[in-house]
Amino acid sequence: MNQATESSESLISLILSGGVASTIIMLLLLLFLIITFYVGIERFLTYRSVLKELYGEDSAMINELTHRAKLVYDKTNSSEKTEKALEQMAGGYVFELERNTSILATFSGAAPMLGFLGTVIGMILAFREMAVSSGQAEIASLAGGIYTAMITTVGGLIVGILSYIAYNQLAVVLARITKRLEDLSNELLDSLES
């Protein structure tokens, strides 16, 4: 227990020892990471329940699609208009399911750039130290700037990679949902026309 406390304290002290710029960047990256986990898990659970519903028996979503399709078909007696109505309904479902996933796409690009900003700031600090010491700076005095550069780069890459993976995995599941909605729409149209 004591060792775990020491390692968490050392991680926090490492982040804080990079200076104000490093601390601000790392706090932003931590916020990005928390949001990434929240959105990723929330959307995954939502997608999973939608898939279960779309493949389940006596599904409320399928019943609603069927009911609306029958209403449109009975009213218009046109399979083209019914197909358009089904596409609009499915498009509405998919649009709602895509909610917040763009955050993951944004973070997958913004987090590494934020880490790169920390890298540039860290290098500026290191070179400033060299300039102040007329090129006679000791490695210990340069370490703070180099450390800032490395820690923010790693943080940015970690958040960017996790966001990228989450976004792409959700996109795959959403494609399965979209395909299932298309298949259901085609089945409904076939049953209405027969």
Spell 107-133 as b/e; 16+ CB within 10 A means b: bbebbbebbbbbbebbeebbeebeeee
C-alpha distances in Å from residue 131, one per residue of 45, 125, 148: 54, 10, 18
- Which two three-digit tokens encode residue 14? 């490492």
- Indicate whether this model's pTM tops 0.85: no
Q: Tell me the C-alpha distance between 31 and 15, whole Å.
A: 14
* DSSP count for the chain of H helices, then E strands: 6, 0
- Hey, what's the torsion of the CAs at 171, 174, 179, 183, to 10 degrees? 180
Q: Show pLDDT as tens, one digit a residue, over the chain (194 residues).
A: 555 555 555 666 766 666 788 889 989 999 999 999 999 999 999 999 999 988 887 788 888 888 888 888 888 888 888 888 888 888 888 899 999 999 999 999 999 999 999 888 888 877 777 778 776 767 766 676 777 778 889 999 999 999 999 999 999 999 999 999 888 888 888 887 76
Predicted confidence at residue 120, as pLDDT, reads 87
- The pLDDT assigned to 157 comes to 95
* 181 burial level (CB within 10 Å; 0-12, 13-18, 19+): buried
pLDDT of residue 151: 85
